Structure 1
Amino acid sequence: MSEIRDHNQQQNKPTKSSSSFSIFLALFSGSLRIFFQNKHIFLPILLFLALPLSFLLLSLSISSRPLKRHIFHLESVALLTSTSFESRHLLKQSREESISLLRLKLLYSFPSFFFSLLSFISAVHVASVPPPHRPSFFSTAAAIRLAWKRVAVTSLCSYSLFLLYIQLPQLFAAAMQNYPRVSLPILVVGSGLEVYLMGVLGLGLVVSAVEEKFGWEAIRIGSVLMAGRRFCWWFVTCMLVGVSGWIGNRFEKLTDGEEYVMSGVWTVFMRWETAGLWWFYGALVIWSCIITTIFYSDCKNGISTCVNQRPRACDTDCAQ
């Protein structure tokens, strides 16, 4: 057993870089191929599900910006004021504005969750259908009916875990704020782990949409499937997060100013640059679902091949 394992490790060493490159090539070329082969399904998903989701998220960014600025201004003035009475009054106003901001986010959260759930399940179903078969509107509707409860539960678990995690690097950095040489590496490492967690949670959502798994079990299976390809998937997730962040930053720069908010959300989206970002973000939602599904299928098929063809030699590798 040890000789076979050492032989397999020696064979895998020189092909590690080529394997990573082949994974990248399969993800990006495969996503384009799947999209154009099933464009009769993906285009309605984009028009009726992904674009409304993009509109809601970007319009929330516009609507909440004045409240965020006002809260930041009140808290900054409260820290600089000379009397405790005025400071308490300003902090009270800040809390009231924060409650208004929370209500606004809750108002957007329900329709955003609805469109996000439907677009995710639809895109994953279409991307996961094997090549001999072709997805249809009826099969997509059936997949939504069967999987929406599992995906909803897994998404709530993912959201809770993500909110719990993002507080940790900030707490450590705040505790070490007097030691910048320590706080900066904490933030950098924490950001890298945050992206890795996003990749794991994305795979967990795909598991819940395709398999009869949900919640923490689906997230655990998604983490296990990444064995041997964790850095590759982390890098792909970094690219997706980077593109999404660029869209958000560019959108904020284009819509910066009170005249955009006063003119109305729909008028803002009618400008050609912001309309292009709106479409781009909707397409990114579909594209990220396809890429995640391809990576899930590749990892699943790789583990199945390892178990079926070389069970004794690969048990240890598949379990890692």
Structure 2
Amino acid sequence: MSERDDLENPNGLTAQSSSSSSSSSSSSFVSTLKILFQSIAILLRHRLHFLSIYALTALPLSLLLFSLAVSVHPIETRVRSLESLARLSPTRFESRQVLKESRSDALSALRLRASYSLPCLALSLAALASSVSSASAAVSGRRPSLPSAAAAVRDRWPRSLVTSICVYASMWTFLSVTGTLRAILAGSPGPRFAVFFVGSVVEVYLMAVLGVALVVSVLEERVGFDAIRVGSAIMEGSRWSGFLLSGVFVLLTGSIWRVLEGSMDGQDWTSLIGMVRWMVGIGRRAWLVLLYGLLVMSSYVVLTVYYCNCRRRNNNVARGLEAESEMAEVENL
């Protein structure tokens, strides 16, 4: 475009940028669908292998998490009830007694969660390493096997453990900051909603970055915050796809837990009849356990396919830049 055309059409640059942004968003959507279909194809092509990983790692992890949720829900419900009762107590002495009982129940819930933490962490690391290594082999055209998956768990769990701790610390820090801001803005509905909305969007993107960091810790010699840094750099040029994939899994996971919590709310946990009635109906909710375990394993496979696509794209870009620099050097000579 000549200088005269630029002067006569000053909005040309704006039109080009808007068209490029729209094409970028549409290409991100198409890329996201391709990643999902490629992941489904990998799972179906090697279904016996991934069913074995699912039965050995993801399904027991889902059973433990659902068992923890069912066990701790009555205690947390009682804690909330006691805290509400303490605020309505007519005297300070009665309020202190109720709060003391509430703290005792809260400590019981904390001890219960702690007892589940180690087996859940071990199964989570096993599901991560085995699923990621198997999916990476499938993307590369190799046939995954259980011995190679077991070797990946044995050799790479220390890196995954350190990275998981850093991932948890990063997410906990972010949620603490947004929770504090919402508490400060409790009397201002508008700013409080803005913080909630922006925080939710950033949280979904942060989960994408942290998920890729876990894949990096399995497939590369990266550990902790270095894996998070590399994971964020790898997503360059394909961040919208990562955001969309993270949003899909956040929506599905949230839906599963909302269904479970909805079935537990309103139950009479103080009576044996109420608890038995809910436990008898647990068969109707068994599909939630199966679905959540499948979702955990599938998320690792999808993140691995996304990681491999980002790596391939970055390598192609790097080779293109090297070719351009070599041509420029030749022309200068």
| TM-score between the two structures when normalised by the length of structure 2 | 0.86
Alignment of 1:288-299 (within 5 A): 288-299=299-310
Letter of the 2:102 partner, please give it. S
Q: How many residues align?
A: 305
Superimposed CA distance per residue, residues 40-74 of structure 1 (whole angstroms, 9 cap, x where no aligned partner): 21001111211111111111111111111111011
Shift in CA distance, 85/266, structure 1 to aligned 2, threshold 3 Å: closer
1:237 and 2:250 aligned: no
1:55 and 2:63 aligned: yes
The one of 213, 221, 227 equivalent to 2:222 is: 213
The one of 86, 89, 113 equivalent to 1:81 is: 89
Letter of the 2:58 partner, please give it. A
> How far apart, in 1, do the equivalents of 2:169 and 2:195 lie?
22
1:12 CA drift (Å):
5.6
Q: Secondary structure at the match of 1:310?
A: helix
> How far apart, in 1, do the equivalents of 2:136 and 2:279 lie?
35
Letter of the 2:247 partner, please give it. C
1:142 and 2:158 aligned: no
> How far apart, in 2, do the equivalents of 1:83 and 1:96 lie?
20
Q: Secondary structure at the match of 1:228?
A: coil
> How far apart, in 2, do the equivalents of 1:15 and 1:248 lie?
36
Higher mean C-alpha deviation, range 32-41 or range 256-265: 256-265
Shift in CA distance, 120/265, structure 1 to aligned 2, threshold 3 Å: farther
1:304 CA drift (Å):
0.7
Q: Secondary structure at the match of 1:214?
A: coil
The one of 29, 36, 39 equivalent to 2:47 is: 39
1:132 CA drift (Å):
2.9
1:263 CA drift (Å):
3.2
Shift in CA distance, 102/65, structure 1 to aligned 2, threshold 3 Å: same
- Preserved CA contact (<8 Å) 2:29 2:241: no
Which residue number in structure 2 is paired with residue 161 of structure 1? 170
1:191 and 2:204 aligned: no
> How far apart, in 2, do the equivalents of 1:205 and 1:153 lie?
10
* Structure 2 unmatched runs, 5+: 1-12, 326-333
- Preserved CA contact (<8 Å) 1:54 1:282: yes
Which residue number in structure 2 is paired with residue 64 of structure 1? 72
1:310 CA drift (Å):
2.4
> How far apart, in 2, do the equivalents of 1:289 and 1:265 lie?
32
1:113 and 2:124 aligned: no
Superimposed CA distance per residue, residues 128-183 of structure 1 (whole angstroms, 9 cap, x where no aligned partner): 11443111111111111111000000001111111111111111111111211111
- Preserved CA contact (<8 Å) 1:62 1:265: no
> How far apart, in 2, do the equivalents of 1:118 and 1:64 lie?
25
1:288 CA drift (Å):
0.6
* Structure 1 unmatched runs, 5+: 1-5, 315-320
> How far apart, in 2, do the equivalents of 1:227 and 1:266 lie?
48
1:300 and 2:311 aligned: yes
1:262 and 2:275 aligned: yes
> How far apart, in 2, do the equivalents of 1:264 and 1:303 lie?
56
CA RMSD of aligned residues (A): 2.3
1:90 and 2:98 aligned: yes
Letter of the 1:280 partner, please give it. L
Letter of the 2:193 partner, please give it. L
Superimposed CA distance per residue, residues 174-215 of structure 1 (whole angstroms, 9 cap, x where no aligned partner): 111121111111111112111211111101000001001010
> How far apart, in 2, do the equivalents of 1:77 and 1:313 lie?
72
Q: Secondary structure at the match of 1:284?
A: helix
> How far apart, in 1, do the equivalents of 2:261 and 2:130 lie?
30
Q: Secondary structure at the match of 1:71?
A: helix
- Preserved CA contact (<8 Å) 1:30 1:294: yes
Identity of aligned residues (%): 36
> How far apart, in 1, do the equivalents of 2:189 and 2:264 lie?
34
1:231 CA drift (Å):
2.6
| TM-score between the two structures when normalised by the length of structure 1 | 0.89
The one of 227, 233, 245 equivalent to 1:224 is: 233
Letter of the 1:122 partner, please give it. S
Superimposed CA distance per residue, residues 108-142 of structure 1 (whole angstroms, 9 cap, x where no aligned partner): 11111111110111110111114431111111111
